Amino acid sequence: MEFIHQPYFPGETIAAIATPPGEGGVAIIRISGDDALAVAARIFSGPILTYRSHTAHFGHIYNAQGEHVDDVLVLVMLGKRSYTGENTVEIHCHGGGLITRRVLEVVLNAGARAALPGEFTFKAFMNGKMDLAQAEAVQELICAKNEKALDAAEGQLKGSLSTRVLAFQHTLTQIAAILEAWVDFPEEGLEFATMEELNEDLEQVATSMEKLVKTFHDGKILHDGLSLCLVGCPNVGKSSLMNALLDKDRAIVSPIPGTTRDVLEDHLRLNGLHIKLSDTAGIREAHESIEQEGIRRSKQAMQQADLILLVLDAHKGLEEEDLQLLAQVPQKKTIVVWNKMDLSHPALPKLDVPYLVHLSAKEREGLDQLHAAIDTIIWSNGPPSKEEILITNIRHKEALVESIEAIRRVQEGLRLDVSPEFLTLDMRQSLGELGKIIGTNISEDILSAIFSKFCIGK
């Protein structure tokens, strides 16, 4: 992220298009910085320097040659009351790529610099309008793929995660202060707390942090969605099941075995979640090179998937190749599907698998049972509530894990009567890791990685 590594100049005036590209009724150009009003005054027909904060005004944009560019609505937001914490002007012009770019060009020629990805939110972070966890929540809010992910991002943006981290920091800082006092005044006989009391407080914080780390499983599902892979022998109805789940004819269905030669992907929303669905080539002994490559890709997709639907043909019954597949798939993430239940079939053998459903993909029967099984395997302890604080970011999880490990080292040191100066080093690391989450202890490289994921204009 270039602007992170360049010297940061508070109040530098930047501008960018804040709405998605394409045609629409309205587009927004955002200007932020100390000279935002001055830049806007050079191109806007009204007396913008006299406008009160949070007011809207109709007028006209003119270029440096005095030529009319567009009729616009201008919004003025001053100082700390704006998103960035700096003077901000938003120009609402007519939507459409050409006119929007033309208005932005006029703004840049009037003295603003083109904003880099995420630079407006970076300004908000630097100006204390939000901490780093809240800044990351802005991007997660924009990219949310379902209602639960949206709720989690909104909670983080409001400060739910930050409040929890600050509470951890408060307790650990008090403990660190006691350990530092023992180091600085070893002969004074000061007794701020007993070893047992310190260990009890450390255990309480570490346990709470571990519970928060465990929410990452659910948080990752909400944030990233799931990959669902259909596997099975040739002609068991995988493509028919894909079409049934998507409710459209996405995959070619044929009675000829081996019709699917490659991994076919599509996306759907199922039970409120975003799911990437993959239909794979039928797995069997093959001698033809193209089919062999398709089978190799099928096995690779099976290993990488979050969930597997192993499809069996009820009309044929269980065959040797089915048994081989049953032995290969990881059962904890596999739902076995007896398909073609609408056809005559022999007595089906009892399978020792945790998840099993019966359906007819062709007739669209039994899909509700499959949806329920998917829900069960995803949410082992039930879906998260709207109020629950979830870790959705791997960076936050890693920082919490490192912080917990440092706490455990302090506990072990207390048990072994290790000299306090060594324990204070671990306490500082634990606090430092928590600081990485909210941005009080963060490197420029991490800031670069975070804000480079943002779109320009946010």
Annotated binding site for K(+): 235, 254, 256, 259
Same domain, 23 and 65: yes
Where does the pLDDT of residue 169 fall: very low under 50, low under 70, confident under 90, or very high at 90 and above? Answer: very high
pLDDT of 66 strictly over 90: yes
Annotated binding site for Mg(2+): 239, 260
Q: What pLDDT score was predicted for residue 325?
A: 81
Same domain, 207 and 343: no
Rounded alpha-carbon distances, angstroms, from residue 376 to 110, 147, 238, 436: 58, 19, 21, 35
Rounded alpha-carbon distances, angstroms, from residue 27 to 19, 63, 73: 6, 18, 10
| 443 within some domain | no
Instruction: List pLDDT tens digits, range 113-125.
Output: 999 888 999 999 9
In sequence order, the 6+-apart residues with CB closer than 8 A to the CB of 231 are 238, 280, 283, 298, 301, 302, 308, 309, 310, 311, 325, 329
Same domain, 119 and 22: yes
Buried b (16+ CB within 10 A) or exposed e, 12-33: bbbbbbbbeeeeeeebbbbbbb
Q: What pLDDT score was predicted for residue 3?
A: 41
Could you give the CA distance from residue 117 to residue 452 in angstroms, rounded to a whole number?
6
| 5 within some domain | no
Annotated binding site: 30, 90, 129, 235-240, 254-260, 279-282, 458
| 451 within some domain | no
Do the Cβ atoms of 248 and 268 come closer than 8 Å? Answer: no
State the alpha helices, DSSP H only, in 366-456: 367-378, 394-415, 420-438, 444-451
pLDDT of 60 strictly over 90: yes
Annotated binding site for GTP: 235-240, 254-260, 279-282
Instruction: List pLDDT tens digits, range 349-380.
Output: 888 888 898 988 888 888 999 888 888 888 76
Do the Cβ atoms of 209 and 400 come closer than 8 Å? Answer: yes
Q: Which two tokens stand for residue 365?
A: 């029967």
pLDDT of 104 strictly over 80: yes
Beta strand pairing status for 26-32 and 14-17? antiparallel
Local structure of 302: helix, strand or coil: helix
Do the Cβ atoms of 238 and 263 come closer than 8 Å? Answer: no
Residue-number span of the structural domain to which 410 is assigned? 138-220+393-438
| 274 within some domain | yes
Do the Cβ atoms of 431 and 410 come closer than 8 Å? Answer: no
Look up the pTM and report it: 0.76
Residues of the chain above pLDDT 70, percent: 86
Q: What is the domain-level CATH number for residue 360?
A: 3.40.50.300
- Other beta carbons within 10 angstroms of residue 398's beta carbon come to 15
Among 355, 378, 401, the domain boundary falls at 378
Annotated binding site for (6S)-5-formyl-5,6,7,8-tetrahydrofolate: 30, 90, 129, 458
In the chain, how many domains are there? 3
Angle at 270 between CA 265 and CA 273, to 5 degrees: 95
Instruction: List pLDDT tens digits, range 211-235.
Output: 999 989 888 888 878 888 888 888 8
Same domain, 353 and 317: yes
